[in-house]
Every structure is written in structure tokens, then in C-alpha cells.
């Protein structure tokens, strides 16, 4: 008797079920929509902050995220290489400054990440409701 589910007793919401992807025919996993470049905690913070302004100063990100200059620089390099942020160096008064701005590609990547996270949250919340109301999901 094949219930169509690889998890015994799993009664998934049809809207949350995944379809096979790629040549392997493997069903998409619940986290497949997450982008490893964007999803990393610090980089997600950088993109979120830069999304809220035209540009932000390096020092502001440093203080907001509680990072060392070297650590922040590494994360910015990853985001810049992916085309998600633009880094501008200049002088304000007599002081050198570095400004970071999110690119159009960065805004799109951030929105896609948030959409994927919302889908993951819906999936978890849906399974919690079913579990609380007598679902047949077997627990160890």
C-alpha cells in the first residue's frame, strides 16, 4: 500500500509539497530555495541593512553587526563577488570612508531569500498544527 509519501503517516499540505527537480528526479528539499551566499547570518544582516538605505558606511555596519573589520571585509568581498553589493571608497572631509550599497541583483536575492524562508516557516507551522491535532506523523 503506497501512500505516495516517503515518510510513514505524513499528511502534507498539498501547497507545501515539492515537485521533482533536475535530471535526478529528486524531490526538492525544504531548504533548496535558500541561497548559501545570502543565507549566511552576517551576510543576510548586511543585505537587510543595506536594503534600508541608499548606502551605508562601513563603520555603521561594523557597529550594527558587532564584527571585526577583517570579518566584515571578508563577508563584503563574498557579496561583492556575487554582485549583491557595490563598494565605494572615498574621502569625507579628511577621513577615508567606505560605503556599501545593495545592487538590484542584491535586492532580488534578498527578496527571494525572504520568500523561501516564509515558505519554510509555513511548512513548519503547518506540520505543528497537524501534529497538535492528531496527525499520524510518527515520532521517535
Residues of the domain holding 78: 34-116
Residue 49 belongs to some domain of the structure: yes
Q: What is the pTM of this model?
A: 0.70
CATH classification of the domain holding 93: 1.10.10.10
Q: How far apart are CA 11 and CA 1, in angstroms?
A: 15
> Domain total for the chain?
1
Residue 129 belongs to some domain of the structure: no
Radius of gyration of the chain (CA): 21
pLDDT tens, per residue, the chain with 140 residues: 444 444 444 444 444 444 445 445 666 677 777 767 787 889 999 999 999 999 999 999 999 999 999 999 999 999 999 999 999 999 989 999 999 999 999 999 999 999 989 988 888 888 766 655 555 555 44
Amino acid at each position: 500500500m503506497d501512500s505516495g509519501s516517503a515518510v510513514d503517516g505524513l499528511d502534507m499540505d498539498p501547497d507545501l509539497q515539492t515537485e521533482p527537480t533536475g535530471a535526478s528526479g529528486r524531490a526538492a528539499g525544504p531548504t533548496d530555495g535558500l541561497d548559501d551566499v545570502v543565507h549566511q547570518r552576517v551576510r543576510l544582516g548586511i543585505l537587510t541593512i543595506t536594503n534600508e538605505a541608499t548606502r551605508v558606511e562601513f563603520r555603521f555596519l561594523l557597529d550594527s553587526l558587532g564584527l571585526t573589520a577583517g570579518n566584515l571585509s571578508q563577508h563584503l568581498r563574498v557579496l561583492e563577488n556575487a554582485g549583491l553589493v557595490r563598494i565605494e571608497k572615498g574621502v569625507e572631509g579628511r577621513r577615508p570612508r567606505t560605503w556599501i550599497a545593495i545592487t538590484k541583483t542584491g535586492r532580488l536575492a534578498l527578496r527571494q531569500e525572504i520568500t523561501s524562508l516564509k515558505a519554510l516557516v509555513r511548512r513548519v507551522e503547518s506540520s505543528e498544527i497537524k501534529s497538535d491535532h492528531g496527525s499520524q506523523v510518527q515520532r521517535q
